[in-house]
Amino acid sequence: MQDREGFAPLSRLPKGALGILYEIARHLLRRPVVGIAAIARDERGHLLLVRRGDTGTWALPGGTLEWGETLLSGLPREIAEETGADWLSLERVTGVYSRPDRDPRFHAVTVCVEGRVAGPARGPKNTMEIKEARFFAPDEVPEDLAMGQRDMLDDALKGGQVVLE
């Protein structure tokens, strides 16, 4: 266990500085994270889903951006990490979802896109996060998807205008 000496740099700050640092951190860290989710289809039109390790439920592949990453570069990385499939092309943005209650871990703004992938789904790199990945025929997709993603999928499948939540 670390003694107070390990925190010496903070203890040397003027009394009011810790309060200011706290306020800065609160404003910087209490912001939504940005994520991307994919309505990913193979050449047969089957949908690629992942089974989450934390809830055991199926979900759209995707995740949050890493520092310095763009949505366009983050998506192929997430598809590869979570499914082992190859991202081929972006077809369209289907919606932007921001309801704070979607994810119990944090408030996220998720850009949902439709695109093509090439199988097979070789599986996740981190089996603690994602248990498995597989393709589903459109009529075989589980009804309940994690993190309130069923409406994201339904909005994409019905087509039409981009949804802004």
Q: How many helices (H) and strands (E) does the chain have?
A: 4, 8
CB 152 within 8 A of CB 94: yes
Determine how β-strand 33-41 pairs with β-strand 108-118. parallel
Q: Which domains does the chain have, with CATH numbers?
A: 1-30 (no CATH), 32-164 (3.90.79.10)
- Write the pLDDT tens digit of every residue in 133-157: 999 999 999 999 999 899 999 999 9
- Write the pLDDT tens digit of every residue in 37-70: 999 999 999 999 999 999 999 999 999 999 999 9
Q: How far is Cα 61 from Cα 49, in angstroms, rounded to an integer? A: 6
* Residues belonging to the active site: 132
Q: How far is Cα 54 from Cα 13, in angstroms, rounded to an integer? A: 40
Measured CA angle at 92 (ends 91, 97), to 5 deg: 140
Strand partners, 51: 58, 132
Q: Which of 26-30, 40-44, 46-50, 111-115 has the lowest mean pLDDT?
A: 26-30
Cα-to-chain-centroid distance, residue 118: 20
Q: Write down the pTM of the prediction.
A: 0.82
Q: What is the mean pLDDT of residues 119-127?
A: 92
